[in-house]
Amino acid sequence: MKKKTMFILICILFITGFTFKVPPVRALLRDQTISTVAEKDTYVNSYEPSSNYGAEDHTIAGDFLTSYEAESYFFFSFSDKPNNYTEAEISLYCGLSDILRNVSICLIEEQWEEFSMNWTNKPSKGTEIASLLITQTDIYKLNVTNYIAGRNNISICVYIKSVNDVDKNVVITSREGYFSPESAPQLIWTYPENAEITVTSPTSSSIWVDSDSYSIQWTSIGKIEDVKIELYNGTTFVENLTSVYGYTENDGEYNFYISPTDHYKGRNYRIKISDYDDPNVFAYSDNFSINVGSGTIAVYQPSNSDSWHQGSSHTIRWNTTGTIINVDIEIYKGGTLKQSIDDRSNFGFYSWSIDSESEPGTDWRVKVINSDNSSQYDWSEYFEIIPALGPPIPGYNSYIILNLIFIISIIAIRKIKK
């Protein structure tokens, strides 16, 4: 029983630890839209019953030259219809003066051609599906969700009944004349989608250092065109990395240069990436380090065969792995710290000048430590410090040289006499 209880506790701790390690993600099920511009549009009028206006930048509905009528026609295909749509709307940009218009909209079941239809051959009006009150120049939307089933397209006629508004008309922007995507005559589909961002780099093992560029990477689900990328230190906002334009294209990668002038240093940095158009969709990276090195150290000089004189200079040498940026060097005799050299660049060597007063002995050694993580270090082998060489006797070297010259001269004279 005790073993079983212990196993359950270990499992709970493991699952809990994994859960808290997962970086924060804000995924949403949200409504998304996609639109299709009218495939055909035109208008007809009774004043010129044989004329065609399929190429005009506008259509007209209502009064035409006081005693004549005009009607607008729009045709939309379903080529972009999502399978899971929840709503379908027709959007029209309608313009007028300050007089109200009450327009009627009906279905058109017959076929018609944009560049050959006129008042004489126009199709018959079908079921009236809506009436819109046009109060100002604006975009007006008509819900046609109930008329989509069983169809591959939808066609409508916009007109003003003579009993409602006399001597009035509405000008509607056509597919040839729209001035912005929103002003185009279009069929707008609404559908639910999962929107999610996942930051894949940096990770918890990432270590970034000054004067280098690093690739921020992510994946996304749903329609996300642009993203904003921000740097945090824990929960504290540091800066918007996409501050030039406020956003960057959602292509899954962004390069970030670590400038030495920003003085970043720490272990709890995070990258936050959010949908620029919907900040409710975002994700954080794992915590990672900037200018905080990590790795292993191996000291190989001095070694136990080294005997260094008091007052002399020698090179301490070591190798490292990982990204150790700076090191601390400590000199010990036995268990006593004798000298400390802090925060030196990790070049792998350091020229050490031994104090002339250092106590001779065979129990000296060097410790090299990662300045950013004191748990990462290595010791040299024990080495020896021996007394300094004595100072030369004044004139001693000259005396030896003169004696050598004298001896050589005597030998040479003897050889000549023989």
Joined together, the tokens standing for residue 172 give 């509607």
* pLDDT tens-place string over residues 151-206: 999 999 999 987 655 568 899 999 999 999 999 999 999 999 999 999 999 999 99
Mean pLDDT of 54-69: 91
pLDDT of residue 294: 87
Give the Cα separation of 171 and 157 in Å (integer): 14
Q: Name the fold adopted by 39-184.
A: Jelly Rolls (2.60.120)
H/E element, 401: helix 396-417
Task: Report whether pLDDT(305) > 70.
Answer: yes
Between 370 and 66, residue with greater pLDDT: 370
| CA–CA distances in Å: residue 46 to residues 51, 119, 168 | 9, 6, 15
**Could you tell me the pLDDT band of residue 21, with boundaries at 50, 70 and 90?**
very low
Task: Report whether pLDDT(10) > 50.
Answer: no
Q: Report whether the peptide linkage leading into residue 260 is cis, meaning its omega lies within 30 degrees of zero.
A: no
Mean pLDDT of 323-345: 95
Domain ranges, ordered by start, for the chain: 23-29+193-290, 39-184, 295-386
Average pLDDT, rounded, for the chain: 89
**Could you tell me the pLDDT band of residue 217, with boundaries at 50, 70 and 90?**
very high
Task: Report whether pLDDT(341) > 80.
Answer: yes
Mean pLDDT of 362-368: 98
Least confident of 29-33, 75-79, 412-416: 412-416
Task: Please tell me if the domain spanning 39-184 has the same topology as the one spanning 295-386.
Answer: no
How many degrees, rounded to 5, is the angle at CA 119 between CA 113 and CA 124? 70
Contact criterion met (CB below 8 Å) for 269 and 290:
yes
pLDDT of residue 380: 97
Percent of the chain, pLDDT > 90?
78
| DSSP letters spanning 373-389 | EEEEEEEPPPEEEEPPP
3-state secondary structure of 163: coil
| DSSP letters spanning 32-86 | EEEEEE-SEEEEEESSSTT---TT-SEEEEEEETTTEEEEEEEEEE-TT--TT--
Distance of CA 132 to the CA centre of its chain: 45
The amino acid at residue 202 is: P
**Residues ≥6 apart with Cβ < 8 Å to 372:** 292, 293, 294, 324, 325, 326
pLDDT of residue 167: 60
Contact criterion met (CB below 8 Å) for 155 and 73:
yes
Give the Cα separation of 353 and 340 in Å (integer): 12
pLDDT of residue 400: 58
pLDDT of residue 390: 62
Q: What are phi and psi of 155, to 5 degrees?
A: -130, 140
3-state secondary structure of 127: coil
Give the Cα separation of 350 and 342 in Å (integer): 12
Range 295-386: architecture per CATH: Sandwich (2.60)
Contact criterion met (CB below 8 Å) for 303 and 328:
no
H/E element, 57: none
Give the Cα separation of 222 and 193 in Å (integer): 6
Percent of the chain, pLDDT > 70?
88
* pLDDT tens-place string over residues 286-301: 999 999 988 999 999 9
**Residues ≥6 apart with Cβ < 8 Å to 31:** 86, 190, 191, 192, 193
The amino acid at residue 381 is: E
Range 23-29+193-290: architecture per CATH: Sandwich (2.60)
The amino acid at residue 316 is: I
Beta bridge mates, 240: 230
- pTM, 2 dp: 0.63
Mean pLDDT of 314-323: 95
Q: What are phi and psi of 399, to 5 degrees?
A: -60, -45
Between 392 and 40, residue with greater pLDDT: 40
